[in-house]
């Protein structure tokens, strides 16, 4: 004898069948998209409450970028013609305004080999430009747009970025609108080698986003629209978007606006890389800055540092991703004497080092 299905059983069967159809249909749709267009990058939009400009509503990365785009400028490294624009060889890179009278920050890599320098602003004006100051150790340069007035400057963040923070790279690509890349800060305080002909770049941060070479020299912003770095075209030398030191760029601006003459850049004469806690534990070493190489002549060599040493502290400051073994980040000045805590061969000791200048 056949038992008739109860209404509740028929309902459950219908729900299960609908779920199966949905899964199969969704899978077929996803495969169709993949087959037609290839892998699709997932774009995450993050809402930020508050932000600069007194806006207490919900902001997005796109609205922040649009609001700050007037402060992003194009730096011309050679004469630009219609033919060069069409050929994609225009010699236009990015920079951003840091003072109303035309101080502009960019990356040394962006303007390397420039035949001429001009700065074009969002309001349609173009100015001849000169180099005011540069920090080759950190790869940032400060330019002056001669004759510029009334520009809208960006401000540097009051708090250093942390891994996981939202970061927004903004650029002005030729013949297109604002170029935008967003992601989370993925690493801090790393050293990047761009090419044999260029010095290593110190205190670089990276962002988990797809890099755009056209943003070289543009600003990297936080969720409040404040500058946390200077984008650099690092190619394959760094994962994701790479950005130069916010601290070094801010120091160049302070030196140019608050003093006269050339301000020496502090140097330790050493290349190092911060060990995170996991890597340090795996290697049986303390958290700190692993010394990769020591200049034959310089402060580190004089202090007796050796490759393989781990500097765990400078004075009372413990070294980590937020405090790398970098004199600019640590706020050290040429001629200043500091005490280093150094781990070598299973034991720690202290040594004295006098900061040099680059």
Query: Do 97 and 181 have their domain in common?
Result: no
pLDDT tens figures, 328-346: 888 888 899 999 999 999 9
- Stretch among 48-52, 209-213, 271-275 having the lowest mean pLDDT: 48-52
**Is residue 212 a part of any domain in this protein?**
yes
Question: Is the pLDDT confidence value at 356 over 50?
Answer: yes
pLDDT band of residue 90 (cuts 50, 70, 90) is low
Interior CA angle at 134 toward 122 and 137, to 5°? Answer: 120
Residue with tokens 């922040």: 64
Average pLDDT for the chain: 81
Distance CA 240, CA 211 (A): 6
Distance CA 104, CA 96 (A): 5
- Stretch among 55-59, 71-75, 85-89, 292-296 having the lowest mean pLDDT: 55-59
pLDDT tens figures, 240-279: 999 999 999 998 998 888 754 456 778 898 888 888 888 9
Residue where a domain stops, chosen among 230, 258, 286: 258
What the block records as the tokens of 248 is 């070094």
Query: Can you give the pTM of this predicted structure?
Result: 0.67
**Is residue 14 a part of any domain in this protein?**
no
pLDDT tens figures, 110-134: 998 887 899 999 888 999 999 999 9
Query: Do 295 and 224 have their domain in common?
Result: no
Higher pLDDT, 88 or 348: 348
Query: Do 111 and 90 have their domain in common?
Result: yes
Share of the chain above pLDDT 90, in %: 47
- Stretch among 64-73, 216-225, 264-273, 281-290 having the lowest mean pLDDT: 264-273
pLDDT band of residue 47 (cuts 50, 70, 90) is very low
Residue where a domain stops, chosen among 258, 283, 309: 258
Q: Is 305 exposed, middle or buried (0-12, 13-18, 19+ CB in 10 A)?
A: buried
**Is residue 47 a part of any domain in this protein?**
no
Q: Read off the CATH number of the domain in which 192 is found.
A: 2.40.10.10
Higher pLDDT, 39 or 233: 233
Higher pLDDT, 8 or 271: 271
Distance CA 10, CA 74 (A): 67
pLDDT band of residue 209 (cuts 50, 70, 90) is very high
Query: Do 304 and 247 have their domain in common?
Result: no
Query: Do 119 and 175 have their domain in common?
Result: no
List CB contacts of 258: < 8 A, sequence separation 6 or more. none
Task: Check residue 38 and give its pLDDT.
Answer: 33
Query: Do 233 and 197 have their domain in common?
Result: yes
**Is residue 306 a part of any domain in this protein?**
yes
Range of the domain at 67: 55-145
Query: Do 173 and 131 have their domain in common?
Result: no
CB-CB contact of 195 with 228 (8 Å): no
pLDDT band of residue 89 (cuts 50, 70, 90) is low
**Is residue 49 a part of any domain in this protein?**
no
Report the DSSP pairing between strands 166-172 and 219-221: antiparallel
Query: Do 306 and 353 have their domain in common?
Result: yes
pLDDT tens figures, 273-319: 888 888 999 999 999 999 988 988 889 999 999 999 999 999 999 99
Query: Which residue from 182, 176, 167, 175 is spatially nearest to 41, judged by alpha carbons?
Result: 182
Distance CA 148, CA 127 (A): 7
pLDDT tens figures, 141-174: 999 999 999 999 999 999 889 999 999 999 876 6
Interior CA angle at 230 toward 53 and 116, to 5°? Answer: 110
Task: Check residue 60 and give its pLDDT.
Answer: 86
Q: How many residues does the chain have?
A: 358
Query: Do 85 and 117 have their domain in common?
Result: yes
Three-state secondary structure readout of the chain: CCCCCCHHHHHHHHHHHHHHHHHHHHHHHHHHHHHHHCCCCCCCCCCEECCHHHCCCEECHHHHHHHHHHHEEEEECCCCCHHHHHHCCCCEEEEEECCCCCEEEEEHHHHCCCCCCEEECCCCCEEEEEEEEEECCCCEEEEEECCCCCCCCCCECCCCCCCCCEEEEEEECCCCCEEEEEEEEEEEEEEECCCCCCCCEEEEEEECCCCCHHHCCCEEECCCCCEEEEEECCCCCCCCEEEEEHHHHHHHHHHHHHCCCCCCCEECCEEEEEECHHHHHHHCCCCEEEEEEECCCCHHHHHCCCCCCEEEEECCEECECCECCCHHHHCCCCCCEEEEEEEECCEEEEEEEECEEC
Query: Do 179 and 217 have their domain in common?
Result: yes
Question: Is the pLDDT confidence value at 45 over 50?
Answer: no
Q: Read off the CATH number of the domain in which 277 is found.
A: 2.30.42.10
Question: Is the pLDDT confidence value at 35 over 90?
Answer: no
Question: What letters, b where the CB count within 10 A reaches 16 and e where it falls short, cover 209-227?
Answer: bebbebbbbbbbbbbbbbb
CB-CB contact of 291 with 343 (8 Å): no
Task: Check residue 96 and give its pLDDT.
Answer: 96
**Is residue 36 a part of any domain in this protein?**
no
Task: Check residue 176 and give its pLDDT.
Answer: 64
Residue with tokens 């299960």: 16
Higher pLDDT, 316 or 39: 316
Distance CA 252, CA 246 (A): 10
Task: Check residue 243 and give its pLDDT.
Answer: 95
Residue where a domain stops, chosen among 232, 258, 284: 258
Task: Check residue 122 and give its pLDDT.
Answer: 86
Task: Check residue 179 and give its pLDDT.
Answer: 81
List CB contacts of 106: < 8 A, sequence separation 6 or more. 75, 93, 94, 95, 96, 140, 141, 143, 217, 230
Share of the chain above pLDDT 70, in %: 77
């Amino acid at each position: 004898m056949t038992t008739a299905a109860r209404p509740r059983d028929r309902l459950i069967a219908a729900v299960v069948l609908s779920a199966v159809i949905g899964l199969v249909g969704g899978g077929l749709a996803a495969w169709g998209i993949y087959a037609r267009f290839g892998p699709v990058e997932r774009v995450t939009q993050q809402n930020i409450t508050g932000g600069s400009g007194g806006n207490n509503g919900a902001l997005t990365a796109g609205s922040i970028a649009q609001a700050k785009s007037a402060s992003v400028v194009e730096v011309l490294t050679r004469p630009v013609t219609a033919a060069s624009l069409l050929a994609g060889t225009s010699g236009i890179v990015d920079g951003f305004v840091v003072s109303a009278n035309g101080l502009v920050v960019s990356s040394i890599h962006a303007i390397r080999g420039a035949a001429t320098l001009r700065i074009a602003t969002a309001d349609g004006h173009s100015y001849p430009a000169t180099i005011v100051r540069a920090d080759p150790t950190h790869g940032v340069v400060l330019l002056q747009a001669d004759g510029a007035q009334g520009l809208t400057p960006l401000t540097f963040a009051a708090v250093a970025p942390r891994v996981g923070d939202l970061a927004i790279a903004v650029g002005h690509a030729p013949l297109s609108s604002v170029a935008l890349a967003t992601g989370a800060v993925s690493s801090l305080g790393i050293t990047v080698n761009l090419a044999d002909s260029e010095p290593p770049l110190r205190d670089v941060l990276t962002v988990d986003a797809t890099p755009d070479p056209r943003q070289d020299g543009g600003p990297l912003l936080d969720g409040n629209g404040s500058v946390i770095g200077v984008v650099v075209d690092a190619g394959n030398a760094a994962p994701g978007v790479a950005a130069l030191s916010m601290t070094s760029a801010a120091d160049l601006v302070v030196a140019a606006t608050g003093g006269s003459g050339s301000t020496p850049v502090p140097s330790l004469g050493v290349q190092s890389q911060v060990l995170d806690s996991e890597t340090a534990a795996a290697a049986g070493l303390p958290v700190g800055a692993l010394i990769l190489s020591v200049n034959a002549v310089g402060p580190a060599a004089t202090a007796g540092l050796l490759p393989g040493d781990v500097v765990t502290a400078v004075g009372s400051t413990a070294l980590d991703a937020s405090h790398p073994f970098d004199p600019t980040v640590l706020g050290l000045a040429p001629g200043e004497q500091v005490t280093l805590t150094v781990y070598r061969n299973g034991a720690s000791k202290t040594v004295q080092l006098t900061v040099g200048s680059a």
